[in-house]
Amino acid sequence: MESADGQLFSDALMRVVREKFHYVDSDFTGRKRLYFDNAGGSYRLKRAVERYSEVDLIPDNPERIHEVARALQAIQRKGAEDARLILNAEEGTLYASLTASGAMFQMVQAIAGAVPGTNMVTTVLEHPSSYDAVALYAQGLGKELRVAKSNRVTGGIDVEEVLSLIDAGTCLLSLIYASNITGAKIDLERIVREARAIKPDLYIVVDAVQHAPHGLIDLKKTPVDGINFAPYKFFGCRGSGISWLSPRAARLPHQKLAAKPEDHWDLGSSAPAQFAVVTEIVDYVCWLGGQCVDSTDRRSQYAAGMKAIGLHERALLSRMLNGAGEVRGLRDLAGVQVLLDHNDLTRRDLILAIAFDDLPEVEAVREYERRGVIVYERVSTSLYSKRMLESFGLTGAVRISPLHCNSPEDIDVFLQVTADIAEKVAVKGINV
């Protein structure tokens, strides 16, 4: 039976996984450090960076008909197939944009502008690219903006809270798959099913940027109308957002060249190198899954790989909270508060929010950096944090976000550093 506290990789597998990523033990100057800000980026797969460079060096236009152009077309087709594999999506339209945030605005604009309705529903925990897009077009089109409140116990959004806002007049529901502050996951499968029971033709869009590197996405189980992810937060490279739209959403009026098909969303020439990165991401996860299942089916391997990632990360999360051996976990450290500490780890991705007694978040982050650990402050003065934090009654938090290529030993080092900061604050005050 699957453990509620997860399952760590074997020592042998852990060594191989770490070797596949850049800068797991040090920064680019060679200084030893832990990078625990993967919610703002991610460790890079070595092969993804190499492949990006290999493909991007090629000067040829992939929209030509000569041999090299056709090779670039094949790379792009393969990357698109692998993006669909990540989502388990066969039909619909896949497209690449400069950022996932830009694509979210485009998807929301198309649905809000064409689908009849009197209101639009979202949640208080959305990334600004989702929340602001819904708010902008709701205001511009004279539709009511309805916002689901957060749960101060779980750090997430309750299904019932979302459903209470949906009625026959709702034209769009916009959701984030997992909070980028607390790691709390929404029950997307249940929300989709029960929201469509209220309004069968409801359009639903999902921001999966935060969740995609941590858990399996399956659009066959959660048939939404739009979803996005960002390769740079998924072991890949910056410079592209990948989005998918359902057939009906893709045909809505949107910006496109007039001669292109009705459901075409790409504007300009795509970058084959970005699609090559997607293939490297999927290749890696399938390799990992191949250690767990005896199957040659690529989606089965991918699903097994994401399951292994989720279980390992859950075990890391449990270790951070509860400690191991003589190393005390965050729950047992004097002077440290685990914010929104919900016990059901199956409902959380690998993100934690903490606070120190008598040490402001920004100063805490600097203290971590002095000790070779990179974390990030989420404060109410930031446009990226204000709405979410205030919904929890908080003014700030220190966000910790490791990745599956981190080891239990990395977690122990982090806990020891955290204990050192807390002890020095207790003895000397904030001038640590």
For the entire predicted model, the pTM comes to 0.95
Query: How wide is the angle at C-alpha 124 spanned by C-alphas 121 and 128, nearest 5°?
Result: 95
Q: What topology does CATH give the domain 11-45+306-424? A: Aspartate Aminotransferase, domain 1 (3.90.1150)
Fold identical between 11-45+306-424 and 50-282?
Answer: no
Query: How wide is the angle at C-alpha 145 spanned by C-alphas 142 and 149, nearest 5°?
Result: 175
Q: In this structure, what is the dihedral angle of CA atoms 257, 262, 265, 266, given to the nearest 10 degrees?
A: -50
Q: Tens of pLDDT along the chain (432 residues)?
A: 467 889 999 999 999 999 999 999 999 999 999 999 999 989 999 999 999 999 999 999 898 999 999 999 999 999 999 999 999 999 999 999 999 999 999 999 999 999 999 999 999 999 999 999 999 999 999 999 999 999 999 999 999 999 999 999 999 999 999 999 999 999 999 999 999 999 999 999 999 999 999 999 999 999 999 999 999 999 999 989 999 999 999 999 999 999 999 999 999 888 999 999 999 999 999 999 999 999 999 999 999 999 999 999 999 999 999 999 999 999 999 999 999 999 999 999 999 999 999 999 999 999 999 999 999 999 989 988 999 999 999 999 999 999 999 999 999 999 999 999 999 998 876 554
Architecture of domain 50-282: 3-Layer(aba) Sandwich (3.40)
Q: Which two tokens stand for residue 12?
A: 């042998």
Question: Does residue 257 contact residue 117 with C-beta atoms inside 8 Å?
Answer: no
Phi-psi region of 327 (alpha: psi -120 to 50; beta: other; left: phi over 0): beta
Cα separation, 182 vs 353, in Å, equals 6
Q: Which two tokens stand for residue 57?
A: 């060096």
Residue type at 13 in one-letter notation:
L
The domains of the chain are located at 11-45+306-424, 50-282
